[in-house]
Amino acid sequence: MAAFLALEDGSIFRGQGFGAPGAVCGEVCFNTSMTGYQEILTDPSYKAQIVTMTYPQIGNYGVNDVDVESYKAHLSGFVVRELSPVVSNWRADRTLAEYLVAEGIPGLQGIDTRALTKKLRVVGSMKGCLVNGEQTSEEDAIKMAREWSGLVGVNYVKEVTHAEAFEWDEQSDISGEFRLAVGTSETADPRNLREPLPKADIPIVALDLGMKYNILRRLRQQGFQPYLMPASSSADDILARKPAGVFLSNGPGDPSAVEDVIANVKQLIDFGIPLFGICLGHQMLGLAMGGKSFKLKFGHRGANQPVKHLPSGKVEITSQNHGFAIDADSLPDDVSVDRINLNDGTVEGLSHKRKPVFSVQYHPEASPGPHDSAALFQDFRSLIERN
């Protein structure tokens, strides 16, 4: 099918469509990861975004039923230079195109993704409209892109959070959403085999702002028993569970728009319970501690972002996906910036000088990405044990 991407500045990128037919609007961004497209598709942080992959060929290892990061695909559209005509991987269950059809996501291939990425780096992320097989003119698509609401000031967390609270364990199949049953090599699908898990001896609440499943796996591997609660849960609801600590997850959109969560996180900080935040959870903590957020020009999205831990001088290569950041100059004196991005100097980690609170802007669960920062989950356990 003929397909195209229209940007709000009037630019048109014409190519071939794949996946589901349709016309969708979203913020056009780019991701520099070489692999991990399935995890990107199912990351709730990509809600309302049209994602462009900079790696030239995508889809060669297909899609499987195991490596999903949430209960559905959340992004608006998917753009690649070349869709692989061959799927060659023993774990694959279907092609990328078939998966996008099933999830209702339009795709576009055959455009100059390098030119698009260079435009976004120079101009910044832009609103766009991806049209695949629809009777929508280029002029109408440009108008739709310009009139789309965008990300700033919009609360997308309420659209991706689970509606009900539940206890999570990787050895359980909860409502068909977690297809990760663990068993012996004689009884289980070998794609699902995991190392034996330790005893779950620390109960925590994981506040779901758009939770990636690998975060829950990492928490469980450290002996936590996560109880996942919707983003709408109040501080009193959370504390009523008597958790040893509270984890704040990743999620989509403008952090300043999620005002109810910010207010609840402030109460949790004042209460003194140990807190650990990742990505949007990091931004919730930054705002609740008195800081301000701002929108990055084109965001950090990829599996190769360098982050420096200031106290030790150690540099981690990290997986990231965010379009907003915390303003270091807006933070009060009792909050320390202990990690920065070496590409642009933006805040990548915070800790409170008096409260058991810390956070990182990036994704230590690394799905996809490097494992340099996996020890942060152990740090959370150590923080709880000290308190």
Strand runs labelled E in 259-334? 275-278, 293-309, 315-326
Q: Which of 39, 279, 300, 348 is catalytic?
A: 279
pLDDT of residue 194: 58
Q: Which of 27, 39, 316, 365 is catalytic?
A: 365
Residue span(s) of the chain under CATH 3.50.30.20 come to 2-147
CATH number for the domain running over 157-386:
3.40.50.880
pLDDT of residue 65: 86
Task: Say whether 365 is catalytic.
Answer: yes
Task: Say whether 363 is catalytic.
Answer: yes
| Whether the predicted pLDDT of 360 surpasses 50 | yes
Of the CA atoms within 13 Å of residue 255, those in its CB half-sphere come to: 31
pLDDT, average across residues 336-343: 98
Residue span(s) of the chain under CATH 3.40.50.880 come to 157-386
Separation between Cα atoms, residue 113 and residue 79, nearest integer Å: 8
pLDDT, average across residues 274-284: 98
pLDDT of residue 181: 38
pLDDT of residue 170: 59
Judged by average pLDDT, the poorest of 32-36, 65-69, 182-186 is 182-186
Torsion sign (Cα): 294, 321, 252, 232: negative
pLDDT of residue 179: 37
pLDDT in tens, 198-218: 888 999 999 999 999 999 989
| Reported confidence tier of residue 183, pLDDT bands at 50, 70, 90 | very low
Residue 261 CB neighbours (<10 A): 28
| Reported confidence tier of residue 66, pLDDT bands at 50, 70, 90 | confident
Separation between Cα atoms, residue 340 and residue 313, nearest integer Å: 11
pLDDT, average across residues 75-96: 96
pLDDT of residue 168: 84
Question: Could you give the percent of the chain with pLDDT greater than 70?
Answer: 93
pLDDT of residue 174: 38
Mean pLDDT, the chain, whole residue set: 93
| Reported confidence tier of residue 374, pLDDT bands at 50, 70, 90 | very high
Fold of 2-147: Glucose Oxidase; domain 1 (3.50.30)
pLDDT of residue 185: 47
Residues composing the chain: 387
pLDDT, average across residues 97-106: 98
- Phi, psi values for residue 214, rounded to 5°: -70, -25
**Structural contact between residues 224 and 204, judged by C-beta atoms closer than 8 angstroms:** yes
pLDDT of residue 177: 38
